[in-house]
Amino acid sequence: MLGLNKTDSKFLLIVILLTLFTPFLMQPFAADSGLDQFNGGYPDLMQKVAIFGIFAVGFNILFGLTGYLSFGHAAFLGMGSYAAVWMFKLLTMNVIPAILLSMIVSGLLAVIIGYISLRRSGIYFSILTLAFAQMCYKMAYSVLTPITNGETGLQLSLSDPRILDGATESTSLPVTNIFGLAMNSSYKLEALNRVFTFNVGFYFCAVIAIIAFYIAIRLFRSPFGMMLRAVKSNQTRMNYMGLNTKPYTLAAFVISGMYAGLAGGLLAAMDPLAGADRMLWTASGEVVIMTILGGAGTLMGPVLGAGVIKYLENIFSKINESVLHSWFHWLPDGLEEVVVWVFARFTGEGWHLTLGLTFMLVVTFLPGGLVEGIKRLKKLTKRGGKPKDKLDAPDPEHTPTPSKHVV
Amino acid sequence: MDAILLQILNGLDKGSAYALIALGLTLIFGTLGVVNFAHGAIFMIGAFCAVTLSRLLSLSFETIDPTKTDFLGNPATIKTPYVEAWFGPEFGSAMIDWAVPLAILFSIPVMIAVGFIMERGLIKHFYKRPHADQILVTFGLAIVLQEVIKYFYGANPISTPAPEVFKGSFDFGVMFGFDPNAIIYPYWRMVYFLFAAVVIGAVFSFLRFTTFGMVVRAGMADRETVGLLGIDIDRRFTIMFGLAAAVAGMAGVMYAPILSPNYHMGMDFLVLSFVVVVVGGMGSLPGAVAAGFLLGILESFASMNEVKSILPGIDQIVIYVVAIIILLTRPRGLMGKRGVMEE
Amino acid sequence: MSNSLLTRRGLLKTSAVAGAGLALPTIFTSGARAFTNDPTGGTVTLGFNVPQSGAYADEGADELRAYELAVEHLNGGGDGGMLNTFSSKALEGNGILGKKVEYVTGDTQTKSDAARASAKSMIEKDGAVMITGGSSSGVAIAVQGLCQEAGVIFMAGLTHSNDTTGKDKKANGFRHFFNAYMSAAALAPVLKNLYGTDRTAYHLTADYSWGWTQEESIAAATEAMGWKTAEKVRTPLGAGDFSSYIAPVLNSGADVLVLNHYGGDMVNSLTNAVQFGLRDKQVNGKNFEIVVPLYSRLMARGAGKNVAGIHGSTNWHWSLQDDASKAFVKSFGTKYGFPPSQAAHTVYCQTLLYADAVARGGSFNPCSVAEALEGFEFDGLGNGKTLYRADDHQCFKDVLVVRGKENPTSEFDLLEVVEVTPAAQVTYDADHPMFAGGALGACNPGA
- What would the pLDDT profile of A191-241 be if each residue is shown by its tens digit? 777 888 888 999 999 999 999 999 999 998 899 998 888 888 877 788 888
At residue B12, φ and ψ (nearest 5 deg) are -60, -40
Segment among A55-64, B234-243, C131-140, C388-397 with least mean pLDDT: B234-243
Q: Mean pLDDT score of chain B, rounded to an integer?
A: 86
Domains of chain C (ranges plus CATH)? 43-178+318-397 (3.40.50.2300), 181-314 (3.40.50.2300)
Query: What pLDDT was estimated at residue C229?
Result: 93
* pLDDT above 50: residue C3: no
Enter the pTM of the model. Answer: 0.88
> A106-110, A205-209, A385-389, B53-57: which has the minimum mean pLDDT?
A385-389
Closest CA to A234 of A130, A121, A384, A76: A121
Rounded to whole angstroms, the Cα distance separating C225 from C189 reads 8
Per-residue pLDDT, A191: 78
Strand, helix or coil for residue A274 = strand
Q: Give the integer Cα–Cα distance in Å for C26 and C14.
A: 19
Our CA-based measurement puts residue B342 at a distance from the nearest CA of chain A, in whole angstroms, of 4
pLDDT in tens, C228-283: 999 899 888 877 888 889 888 888 889 999 999 998 889 999 998 988 888 888 88
Q: Is A39's pLDDT higher than 50?
A: yes
Name the band, by pLDDT with cuts 50, 70 and 90, for residue C57: confident
Bridge-partner residues for C49, per DSSP?
C106
Model confidence at B43: pLDDT above 50 = yes
Query: What's the pLDDT score for residue B229?
Result: 83
Residue A76 has pLDDT above 50, yes or no: yes
Sign of the CA dihedral running C204, C207, C209, C212:
positive
The span from the CA of B261 to the CA of B47, in Å, is: 6
Which of A380-394, B94-108, C386-400 has the weakest average pLDDT?
A380-394
pLDDT greater than 70 at residue B31: no
In this predicted structure, the answer to whether residue C22 has a pLDDT above a threshold of 70 is no
| Sign of the C-alpha dihedral computed for residues A115, A119, A125 and A127 taken in this order | negative
Say yes or no to pLDDT of C25 above 60: no
Task: Compare C27 and C372 and report the one with higher pLDDT.
Answer: C372
Task: Provide the pLDDT confidence category of residue A401 given band limits of 50, 70 and 90.
Answer: very low
Return the pLDDT at C345.
Answer: 95
**CB atoms C244 and B7 under 8 Å:** yes
Query: Nearest Cβ partner of C141 from A2, A45, A152?
Result: A152
Given this model, what pLDDT does residue C33 score? Answer: 63
Q: What are phi and psi of A278, to 5 degrees?
A: -60, -20
Q: What kind and span of H or E run contains C241?
A: none
Q: pLDDT for A261-304, tens place per residue?
A: 999 999 999 988 888 889 988 899 899 989 989 988 888 899 99
* Residue C2 dihedral angles phi and psi, to the nearest 5°: -120, 150
**At A143, is the pLDDT very low, low, confident or very high (cuts 50, 70, 90)?**
confident
pLDDT at A166 over 80: no
Give the CA distances from residue A1 to residues A7, A149, A211, A299, in Å, rounded to whole numbers and listed in that order. Answer: 10, 47, 14, 18
pLDDT > 70 in chain C, percent: 92
Domain positions in chain A: 6-299
Q: Which chain C residues touch B72 with a CB distance below 8 Å?
A: 329-330, 333-334
Q: Give the per-residue pLDDT at C51.
A: 92
Mutant choice from C3, C124, C210, C443 vs A, greatest count of A C-beta within 10 A = C124
pLDDT of A392 strictly over 80: no
Bridge-based pairing state of the strands C415-421 and C399-404: antiparallel
Do C29 and A186 make contact, defined as CB atoms within 8 angstroms? yes
**CB-CB under 8 Å, A44 with C117:** yes
Taking an 8 Å cut-off on Cβ atoms, the answer to whether B71 and C319 are in contact is: yes
pLDDT of residue C7: 40
* Residue A407 reports pLDDT greater than 80: no
Q: Give the model's pLDDT for residue A168.
A: 67
Mean pLDDT in residue range C385-408: 92
How confident is the model over C86-110, as a mean pLDDT? 91
Tell me what the mean pLDDT of segment C164-171 comes to. 91
Q: In whole angstroms, what is the distance from residue B54 CA to residue B83 CA?
A: 11
d(C-alpha A245, C-alpha A119), whole Å:
11
**Pairing, β C256-260 against β C228-235:** unpaired
Between chains, do A180 and C16 touch, taking CB under 8 Å as contact? yes
Q: What is the pLDDT of residues B289-326, one digit of tens each?
A: 999 999 999 999 998 888 888 888 888 899 999 999 99
Asked whether residue A176 carries a pLDDT value surpassing 70, the answer given is yes
Chain C: give the shortest CA distance to residue A155, in Å. Answer: 8
Reported confidence tier of residue A385, pLDDT bands at 50, 70, 90: very low
Minimal C-alpha gap between A76 and chain B (Å):
17
How close A142 comes to chain B (CA, Å)?
7
pLDDT (tens digit per residue) in C186-221: 999 999 999 999 999 999 999 888 999 999 999 999
> Hey, which residues 91-110 in chain C have their CB within 8 Å of chain B?
none
The β-bridge relationship of strands C289-294 and C256-260 is parallel
Question: How far is the C-alpha of C357 from the C-alpha of C359, rounded, in Å?
Answer: 5
Nearest to C55 among B259, B264, B315 (CB): B264
Residue of A nearest to B138 (CA): A360
Q: Which residue has the higher pLDDT, C6 or C399?
A: C399
Chain A partners within 8 Å of B139 (Cβ)? 285, 289, 356, 359
- In tens, the pLDDT along A243-263 reads 888 899 999 999 999 999 999
Q: How far is CA A361 from CA A226, A354, A374, A399, B319, in A?
A: 32, 10, 15, 12, 35
Asked which of B197-211, C83-97, C201-215, C237-251 is least confident by mean pLDDT, the reply is: C237-251
What is the model's pLDDT at position C4?
Answer: 37
The pLDDT value given to residue B179: 75
A389 residue type, one letter: D
- Which amino acid is present at C185? A
CA–CA separation, A172 and A156 (whole Å): 11
pLDDT for A152: 82
pLDDT at A153: 86
Query: If pLDDT is split at 50, 70 and 90, which confidence band does C129 have?
Result: very high
Instruction: List the single residue in A122, A128, A289 with the smallest CB-CB distance to B341.
Output: A122
**At B76, which helix (H) or strand (E)?**
strand B75-81
Q: What is the pLDDT of residue B30?
A: 63
pLDDT of residue A384: 53
Query: Please, are residues A302 and A56 in contact by the beta-carbon 8 Å criterion?
Result: yes
C10 falls in which pLDDT band (50, 70, 90)? very low
| Residue B52 DSSP code | H
Residue A406 has pLDDT above 80, yes or no: no
- In this structure, the strands spanning C399-404 and A177-178 are unpaired
In degrees rounded to 5, what are phi and psi of residue A182? -70, 140
The residues of B whose Cβ lies within 8 A of any Cβ of A are 35, 122, 125, 129, 131-133, 135-137, 139-144, 146-147, 151, 267, 271, 274-275, 278-279, 282, 312-313, 316-317, 319-321, 323-324, 327-328, 331-333, 341-343
Residues of A in contact with C149 (CB under 8 A): 172-173, 175
Which pLDDT score, from 0 to 100, does residue B343 have?
Answer: 64
CB atoms within 10 A of CB C71: 21
- Please state, rounded to an integer, the average pLDDT across all residues of chain C: 87
Q: Among A31-40, B270-279, C134-143, C243-252, which is the least confidently predicted range?
A: A31-40
Tell me the residues of chain C between 390 and 429 that have a Cβ less than 8 Å away from chain B: 409-410, 412-413
Looking at residue B245, its pLDDT comes to 93
Chain centroid to CA C444: 22
Residue C319 in contact with partner chain B when CB distance is under 8 A: yes
pLDDT above 50 for C18: no
B320 contacts A135? CB cut-off 8 A: yes
Strand pairing of C173-175 and C200-206? unpaired
C225 Rama sector, left if φ>0, alpha if ψ -120 to 50, beta otherwise: alpha
User: Chain centroid to CA A161: how far?
Assistant: 32
Distance (Å, rounded) from C-alpha B31 to C-alpha B277? 11
Which C-chain residues 263-322 have CB contacts (< 8 A) with chain A? none
| SS3 of residue B1 by DSSP | coil
Chains that touch A (3 or more CB pairs under 8 A): B, C
| Predicted local confidence at residue A169, as pLDDT | 65
The residue of chain C nearest to residue B186, with distances taken between CA atoms, is: C276
Q: Give phi and psi for A191, each to the nearest 5.
A: -155, 155
pLDDT tens profile B142-170: 999 999 999 999 888 998 888 888 888 88
Task: Write down the pLDDT at residue A242.
Answer: 82
pLDDT at A403 over 60: no
- Residue C193 touches chain A, beta carbons under 8 Å: no
CA proximity to B1, closest of B179, B170, B171, B168: B179
Q: Do C64 and C105 meet the contact criterion of CB atoms below 8 Å apart? A: yes
Q: Given an 8 Å threshold on Cβ–Cβ distance, is B271 in contact with A288?
A: no
Residue B69, φ and ψ in degrees, nearest 5:
-125, 155
